[in-house]
Amino acid sequence: TAPINVTSSASPTATTTPTATATATPWGCAVGNSALLVVGNLTLSAGDQAILDRLTHVHGLSVTVVLDSAVTAADASGKALVLISSSVASTLVGIKLRDVAVPVGVNEFNLFAAMRMTDSVAGSIGSSTSQTQLSIVDASHPLAAGFSGTRTVYSPAATLYWALPAGGAQVVASVVGAPTHATIFAYAANTAMLGISAPAKRLGWFLPDNAGASLGVDGYALFDAAVSWMICTPVPTATA
């Protein structure tokens, strides 16, 4: 299938295909095949393009791409999934998507506090540069994609974002040698975050936007597991 190209235009949004209606479910998913991808530039970076292609070609989602400066909570309405790229400016997104009753995946670690997924004190988030691997700390969780131990997620090496999650987070993966530095962590719907209960599933993921094109086979498998966990679908069989 040919890549889907999304470029800048006079409009702050671009839609790959017509959107579909999603319906909330008691277990924190949304039934439907549409997603919202929030980015910092509609002329997508290689990393954002790789994620968009994965969402559309592997998961079969109809993806609306919207700028960080333009996104509103209303944009999440009817979506099965919202994914916030680390290409966004965190100050432009802020708390706009914090309370949406739709599963939200956050790749921008500077948004974790605004989303109430971590504290805002110094040391609650960080980054580890020149990494190729991460450690699976909860192999039983669906977000682990059936993996255990140390897995190679990048080729070539790139940066891993990490956090010290709050409340009732499920920590699935960490920086190698630093088990408290969570690289994949999640909140099920209605579980405790920092001062609020999760309105729907929330996911913190390790991926800077400029590292999206560096994901290897295991990295894509973990991404596929993340999307499938958020929207409650079987993990697709695909190669990176």
Are 101 and 199 contacting, i.e. CB atoms less than 8 angstroms apart?
A: yes
pLDDT category of residue 7 using cuts at 50, 70 and 90: very low
pTM to 2 decimals? 0.87
Residue that is written with structure tokens 């001062």 in the block: 195
Helices (H), the chain: 46-53, 90-93, 217-231
Q: Which amino acid is at 233?
A: T
Which pLDDT value is given to residue 26?
Answer: 39
Q: Quick one: average pLDDT of 148-162? A: 97
The angle formed by the CA atoms of residues 230, 138 and 124, to the nearest 5 degrees, is: 80
